[in-house]
Amino acid sequence: MARFKRILLKLSGESLMGEQKYGIDEKRLAEYAQQIKEISDMGVQIGIVIGGGNIFRGLKGAGKGFDRVKGDQMGMLATTINGLGLSSALTAAGCPNTVLTAIRMEPIGELYTKWKAIDAMEQGKVAIMVGGTGNPYFTTDTGSSLRGIEIEADVMLKGTRVDGVYTADPEKDSSAVKFQEITFDEIYNRNLKVMDLTATTMCKENGLSIYVFNMDVPGNLKKVMEGEPIGTLVHA
């Protein structure tokens, strides 16, 4: 029996690069698709939001002279490219899915509504929601919080390259200690970077817990769904 019935899975664009410095690593994409199919086969309803940092990041572009709004719109298109890549990989793995876009992009995907996403998930399809919120100045973290709340997910699973939330950055500080669980207030007080402030505040105010885990280890997504304590639960 899966630990959660309906999830919002947030994947970072950077993680799709795999060992590369840019773009999409087909091997990593296929591994992710396999992991997603494993839990779909368990009967879990899955909504997915992907970042675009492997292709373009609006905020970074703004620092290089891009207009911030145009830069963020380029970022929305980057998430769409990633979503199409994941859709293709899921189809190849035999996992039905649909792409829903925050802004009109037919025939690339259907325009997102909460009801289209829920309808797709209830039919056993993975709902891949791209284009962020459709608005500039909002990160894909905030987009995933918004979508997770809208689709009434039981939890947001944040797949990253670290295996949870630590007292400090474990990649920079060897004395960093991992939390099994932590409250949103503790995250604020300790100034820990789980997601940006807008995203975590939305989750806190709407009762959506976040589970942070390492998605880059094949089989980990299924372990989370089976209740193995391999990450960190962030809750109210």
Q: How far, in Å, are 116, 141, 167, 194 from residue 180 at the CA level?
A: 35, 21, 11, 14
CATH number at residue 19: 3.40.1160.10
Burial class (CB in 10 A: 0-12, 13-18, 19+), 25: middle
Classify residue 48: in a domain, yes or no: yes
**Cross-strand bridge partners of residue 213:** 159
Q: Which residues span the domain enclosing 218? A: 6-235
Under a CB-based contact definition with an 8 Å cutoff, are residues 171 and 165 in contact? no
Say which residue the tokens 């145009």 belong to: 70
Task: State the pLDDT at residue 24.
Answer: 97
Classify residue 1: in a domain, yes or no: no
> What value does the CA radius of gyration of the chain take, rounded to a whole number of Å?
17
Whether the predicted model's global pTM rises above the 0.85 cut: yes
CA–CA gap between residue 58 and residue 75 (Å, rounded) = 5
Task: State the pLDDT at residue 48.
Answer: 98
pLDDT beneath 50, residues of the chain = none
Give how many domains the chain has, as a whole number.
Answer: 1
Task: State the pLDDT at residue 61.
Answer: 65
CA–CA gap between residue 26 and residue 24 (Å, rounded) = 6
Task: State the pLDDT at residue 63.
Answer: 72
The first and second tokens of residue 199, run together, are 């995203």
In 3D space, the residue among 215, 201, 228 whose CA is nearest the CA of residue 35 turns out to be 215
Task: State the pLDDT at residue 235.
Answer: 98
Task: State the pLDDT at residue 1.
Answer: 78
